[in-house]
């Protein structure tokens, strides 16, 4: 994610925030919100990359109400055992 951060900086832009804006058929969709010369540029991005970049850059990460509502509607089989290794989670 250093490469993407460097590219944004070299383009005289800055990462303003991350948006997780949609959950469709079990897939999350994210957006990098970049500011350059007073205009906002939204770039589609994999959520994992967006979150990693957002954490590294210390920018806010927002999740839309639509996504939060969709998560509430998704059935949960059972919560993973907090003592188990994440590699054992299904």
Determine if the pTM surpasses 0.75.
Answer: no
Dump pLDDT digits (tens) for 9-27. Answer: 999 999 999 999 999 988 9
The β-bridge partners of 62 are 19
Beta strand ranges found along the chain (DSSP E): 13-24, 27-36, 39-45, 61-63
3-class secondary-structure state, position 72: helix
29-88 pLDDT tens trace: 999 999 999 999 999 999 999 999 999 999 999 999 999 998 877 555 555 556 655 454
Reading the block at residue 90, the tokens are 């299904």
The secondary element (H helix, E strand) that includes residue 56 is: helix 47-57
- pLDDT-based confidence at residue 3 (cuts at 50, 70, 90): very high
Give the pLDDT confidence score for residue 90 in this predicted structure: 44
């Amino acid at each position: 994610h250093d490469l993407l951060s460097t590219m944004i900086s070299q383009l005289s832009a800055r990462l303003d925030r991350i948006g997780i804006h949609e959950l469709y058929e079990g897939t999350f969709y994210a957006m990098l919100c970049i500011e350059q010369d007073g205009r906002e540029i939204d770039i589609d991005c994999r959520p994992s990359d967006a979150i990693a970049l957002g954490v590294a850059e210390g920018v806010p990460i927002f999740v839309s109400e639509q996504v939060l509502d969709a998560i509430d509607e998704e059935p949960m089989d059972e919560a993973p055992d907090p003592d188990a290794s994440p590699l054992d989670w299904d």
